[in-house]
Amino acid sequence: QVQLVESGGGVVQPGRSLRLSCAASGLTFSRHAVHWVRQAPGKGLEWVAAISNDGSNKYYADADSVKGRFTISRDNSKNTAYLQMSNLRAEDTAVYYCAREVSGGCDPWGQGTLVTVSS
Amino acid sequence: DIQMTQSPSSLSASVGDRVTVTCRASQSISSYLNWYQQKPGKAPNLLIYAASSLQSGVPSRFSGSGSGTDFTLTISSLQPEDFATYYCQQSYRTPWTFGQGTKVEIK
């Protein structure tokens, strides 16, 4: 079955960087766009970024949130997508999910990886 | 950005009840509207895509309707496993945006 597994989360100090990974299995990875969505503790879902199936197109949430600090990428030879996060802020603390795009929605989602930005 | 507004923010219902959640977009999004269910501590699960298409494996008691700016998620007969938070999401234009969520609780 299709499975996505995130990794790379942890505790990081403000201003530092972190790279999340999303490893996919059970699908032809190169056929699908991938999205990152985050959820701050006790809050709703926030779309972060997306990358097209071949990596040629990348999309980000707006400037005030992540644009300019986060970079999405993928390596289809490794069936893996990445989210490079720099200059992290306390408000970036969240569970980060990756998901496959299918039929215009996100399915399935990974189990999520927790990023905590704290000194 | 396209703003998505759900109502109500929460509701209490009993097993067997018919439940309706609404979602309004700040501009027309045609039928580019998805619904997700999320249970505590779990990742969201796609229920409905393209406003009214049932995702594979999702029980038929879930249905979606609407187009343009106004959409509805209906659970025809609420089951114990349906107590969760539901989110709408537009995929008409990036950045994709979610509604704030509707928590369905046990009455």
Distance (Å, rounded) from C-alpha A79 to C-alpha A23?
Answer: 6
> Is the predicted pLDDT of residue A64 greater than 90, yes or no?
no
Bridging pattern class, strands B19-25 and B4-7: antiparallel
pLDDT in tens, B19-67: 999 999 999 999 999 999 999 999 999 999 999 999 999 999 999 999 9
pLDDT in tens, A17-42: 999 999 999 999 999 999 999 999 99
Average pLDDT, chain B: 97
Contact (CB<8Å) A107/B46: yes
Chains A, B: CB contacts within 8 A come to 64
Percent of chain A with pLDDT over 90: 95
> Is the predicted pLDDT of residue A63 greater than 80, yes or no?
no
Reference A65, options A41, A35, A51, A85; nearest CA is A85
Structural tokens at position B47: 């229920």
Average pLDDT, chain A: 96
Q: Which residue has the tokens 């709408």?
A: B88
Contact (CB<8Å) A45/B53: no
Residues of A in contact with B50 (CB under 8 A): 103-104
Read off the amino acid at residue B80.
Answer: P
Distance (Å, rounded) from C-alpha A36 to C-alpha A97?
Answer: 6
